[in-house]
Amino acid sequence: MQRLRIGQDIRPLSEFRAGVATFFKQIQETKRPLIITQHGKGVGVVLGVEEYEKMQETIELLQDVQKSITQINNGEGVEHNKAKKLVLSRLGS
């Protein structure tokens, strides 16, 4: 996801309502989220589908890494050679 540009990527709800199509085009072209404000406070974020999916994949990967770290810290890890044998046996090699 591209870095947020405060001057371009934060818009009041009234402005968003008036130009929805334009803002969706901006989101698709820039790959940046759009922050929607109401009464001067952030109330929502609009993302392109592709950027949302990338973010979800990153979150899932980080959750898997954290789970793995916890398992290793709990002594549930498997040594490299043993893991390699397990994987190869599952692949039928």
Residue ranges of domains in the chain: 6-48
CB 32 within 8 A of CB 47: no
Give the residues across from 12 on adjacent strands.
Answer: 37
φ/ψ of residue 37, rounded to 5: -115, 155
Token pair for 28: 């698709």
With 70 as the cut, is the pLDDT of residue 93 above it? no
- What pLDDT, on the 0 to 100 scale, is given for residue 3? 82
With 90 as the cut, is the pLDDT of residue 10 above it? no
The domain defined by 6-48 folds into YefM-like fold (3.40.1620)
Share of the chain above pLDDT 90, in %: 76
* Global pTM value: 0.68
Who wins on pLDDT, 33 or 7? 33
With 90 as the cut, is the pLDDT of residue 8 above it? no
